[in-house]
């Protein structure tokens, strides 16, 4: 093909895009507050609580009559239920990077205590035991599926202790920050960093980061921590009493310190998941009405945005986890009649700056890279920048906004 003609074609298409989005610059920020940079899928499960690094495998909990099952789901295989033999309840909370290892907790029959489990396709479900003979809960797993973290109760069930489990060492108590309780919720990619919260000597919750060979450390935050980035450097959770006695979502790193992420206009927010690189944070927040919590995503450039939700009398939603690059967010949505349904939010292909919003920045960025013939405008990933990419961008942009 004549490259000069191809450059001319790109230029013509770029001007077509400008005409197509001529009204974008006049729109207010509020026009994009519904996070039109994400598209949503409805799944026939109660809640999705975790996802593989590529966002293709989801885990969580579903229900059949009066029984609850952990599940693993992919587009190709559909839903696969996971439970202990004879059990009446199971919930999955975490999944390995490749989507093959699932962790959570469940029971083996009515009246039996809940026990942490690890499941893999070939091995099936494996109970991980307990620390002191009572219940245990697995909350997260390392990238390769070899390290499991969570918490277990003491002998009389009055207090909890954080644990780290490996096939070699079994379930190991991670101690506390001077108090009686500790709960682990997140683990780094290689399993060497565990995060959560512990009570101190006065009984107040403190965020901890446990590092292999160094032990448990107080990072200086009063509150709770629910997830950590792949390298163990970025922690997310909720600061206690940061706003009129209510919790506020936070992001923390040793380099940048504590960052309060604000709310959607309401009194409370909680961060529950973070992308592998620590740039995308997900969770929930109340809006100005303070009636319902809404699933949210946060980036530094886009701030906190409310994810798309089903419309109904009970508009509650919640985001628990995100994929490696923040492009897929999973959680649940209320869809009316008291029904709760798992959702997967997928970032739009037109969201070029990856902040969850479709706006003039994405438009200008696409025009720039398209005009230059840069592969950043290769929307269909075929190795060429041409009219097909323009059509896909325009379609995705229009559908999102």
Tens-digit pLDDT profile for residues 95-135: 999 999 999 999 998 778 999 999 999 999 999 999 998 89
Give me the residue spans of the domains in the chain. 1-37+357-401, 40-356
pLDDT band at 324 (very low <50, low <70, confident <90, very high): very high
Confidence of residue 312 (pLDDT cuts 50, 70, 90): low
**What average pLDDT does the structure give for the chain?**
85
| Residue 322: pLDDT over 70 | yes
CB 34 within 8 A of CB 287: no
Going across the sheet that includes 257-260, the strands are 182-187, 193-199, 205-211, 215-228, 234-243, 246-253, 257-260
Average pLDDT over residues 20-45: 43
Is it the case that residue 250 has pLDDT exceeding 90?
Answer: yes
The residue-averaged pLDDT of 196-204 equals 97
pLDDT > 70 in the chain, percent:
84
**Coil, helix or strand for 120?**
strand
Whether the CB-CB separation of 206 and 188 falls below 8 Å is answered with no
| Phi, psi for 35 (deg, rounded to 5) | 55, 55
pLDDT of 25 reads: 31
**pLDDT at residue 266 in the model:** 92
Sequence-distant (≥ 6) Cβ neighbours of residue 233 within 8 angstroms: 253, 254, 255, 278
Residue for token digits 């999973």?
Answer: 330
Fold of 40-356: Neuraminidase (2.120.10)
């Amino acid at each position: 093909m004549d490259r000069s003609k191809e450059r001319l074609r790109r230029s013509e298409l770029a001007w077509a895009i400008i005409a197509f989005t001529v009204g974008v610059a006049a729109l207010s920020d509020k026009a994009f507050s519904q996070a039109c940079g994400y598209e949503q899928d409805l799944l026939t499960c109660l809640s999705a609580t975790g996802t593989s690094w590529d966002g293709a495998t989801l885990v969580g909990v579903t229900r059949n009559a009066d029984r609850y099952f952990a599940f693993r789901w992919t587009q190709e295989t559909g839903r696969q239920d996971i439970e202990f033999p004879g059990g009446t309840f199971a919930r999955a909370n975490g999944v390995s990077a490749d989507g093959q290892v699932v962790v959570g907790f469940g029971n083996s029959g009515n009246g039996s205590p809940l026990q942490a489990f690890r499941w893999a396709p070939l091995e099936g479900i494996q109970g991980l035991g307990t620390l002191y003979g009572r219940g245990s809960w697995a909350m997260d797993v390392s990238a390769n599926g070899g390290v499991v973290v969570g918490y277990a109760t003491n002998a009389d069930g009055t207090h909890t202790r954080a644990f780290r489990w490996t096939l070699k060492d079994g379930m190991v108590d991670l101690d506390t920050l001077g108090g009686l309780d500790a709960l682990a919720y997140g683990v780094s990619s290689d399993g060497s960093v565990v995060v959560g919260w512990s009570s101190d000597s006065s009984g107040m919750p403190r965020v901890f980061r446990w590092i292999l060979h160094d032990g448990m450390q107080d990072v200086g935050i009063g509150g709770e921590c629910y997830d950590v980035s792949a390298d163990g450097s970025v922690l997310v959770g909720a600061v206690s009493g940061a706003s009129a006695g209510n919790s506020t979502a936070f992001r923390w790193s040793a380099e940048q310190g504590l960052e309060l992420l604000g709310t959607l206009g309401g009194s409370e927010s909680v961060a529950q998941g973070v992308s592998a690189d620590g740039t995308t944070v997900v969770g929930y927040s109340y809006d100005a009405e303070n009636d319902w919590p809404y699933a949210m995503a946060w980036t530094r450039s886009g701030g906190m945005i409310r994810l798309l939700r089903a419309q109904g009398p009970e508009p509650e939603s919640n985001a628990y986890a995100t994929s490696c690059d923040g492009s897929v967010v999973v959680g649940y949505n209320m869809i009316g009649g008291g029904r709760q349904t798992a959702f997967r939010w997928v970032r739009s292909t037109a969201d070029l700056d990856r902040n969850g919003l479709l706006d003039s920045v994405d438009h200008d960025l696409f025009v720039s890279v398209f005009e230059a013939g840069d592969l950043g405008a290769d929307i269909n990933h075929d190795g060429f920048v041409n009219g097909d990419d323009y059509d896909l961008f325009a379609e995705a942009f229009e559908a999102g906004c």
